[in-house]
Each structure stands twice: as structure tokens, then as C-alpha cells.
Amino acid sequence: MAIKLTIPVTEADIRKLHIGDQVLLTGVLFTGRDAAHKYMQESFIARACPESERAVYDVLKPGLAGGVIYHCGPVVRKRPDGKYEFVAAGPTTSIREEPYEAAVIEHFGLRAVVGKGGMADKTLAACQKFGAVYLHAIGGAATLIADSVKEVLAVHKLDFGVPEAFWQIRVVDFPCVVTMDSHGQSLHDKIRADAQRKLAELVGK
């Protein structure tokens, strides 16, 4: 049975999760991929927030506290009423954000990162230290995931381009699976180890 989590998520609820758990997210989350992570690192983490970026920071800082960032470059359309809606919202490969994610988790108080493919040791250590998880979204189900996006609340840094902007969205029962937990366990590491062991067995035959 899937575990339902409401954003913002408490550390206590995150610490209850383990790899393999199915999760349904409800609440407000932000998309953010390569340009967004580089921007957060250079503008907010590596230095004090410049006044020119204060408005964005004042949205992200409380919005990501106890919150969720989704590695996604959505396909978006603008409706006749001027509002945006997601057409497709599949996950993008997360490992590209490995240089930044641990610092983002610490600085903003993130509780969950959603993407595909998993991340590496630095992010896993941050999840364990600060109480966060990595959630694997379903690759190849972009339209299905978009159905869980009920409203686009705002977009920030649209000058980065549609895929790279921060999209602030309200989701209901967004489906994902815990593949890196706050206890130092990574399903991705286990799969790699099993694959290497089986390869060694095959080569040895």
C-alpha cells in the first residue's frame, strides 16, 4: 500500500520511509533541473543572496523548507485564460545534479528529491544527515504524471527557458518510490552490486 505524504513533510515522516516504499505526494512542489540547481548554488548558497534575486529567494526559501524539488523539464502550454498547464511532466536524469544537491538539501531544508536514475554518495550522505529521501518517478509515464499536476501556481526564472525554469505546482497523489532513504540505503547501489556480481559469475563460467 502506498504511503501518502503531504507537503511540507516533517523529518519524522521522512525517517519512517525505507527503500522500496511506494509514496503518493500531495501539496506544492517545485521543478528544478540543471540551470535551476546551478543558479541556487551560485546565487544563494555560495554567497549571500543579491538584491536582484531576492524576490525569487523569498519564494524558494520557505517553499522548499520541508519541501520537494522535482528534476523535470515539463512540456507546458498556455491556456486562453493566460494560465499554464502541464502536458507532460516526466522525470529527467538526476545524476547531473549531484554536484549541487547535497548543498541544496542542507541550505533549503529539502525533504525529498524526485527524479530518475538515482544519485550518488554525496546526496545519499546528505539525505542521511539532514533527513531527506530520493524518490524515483516513473520514467516513460510523462502524461500520466502530468495528470497528478492539478494546478500551476507560478513560474520563476522563465528566462532560463520552459524546461529549466522553476515551476511551482500543486500535485495530488503524485506517484513515486523511495530508492534512497535517510538511513544510508540506496536501491541503486544494491542493483549495481547485484549486476556486477552476476556479471562476474557469467564471466567466470
Residue 37 among the catalytic residues: yes
Burial of 203 (0-12, 13-18, 19+ CB in 10 A): exposed
> Is the C-alpha dihedral spanning 9, 76, 34, 141 positive or negative?
positive
Neighbours of 70 (CB within 10 A): 27
Q: Contact, 60 vs 156, CB < 8 A? A: yes
Rounded Cα distance between 71 and 105, Å, is 14
Pick the catalytic residue from 37, 71, 136, 156.
37
* Cell digits of residue 103: 548543498
Catalytic positions, written as ranges: 37
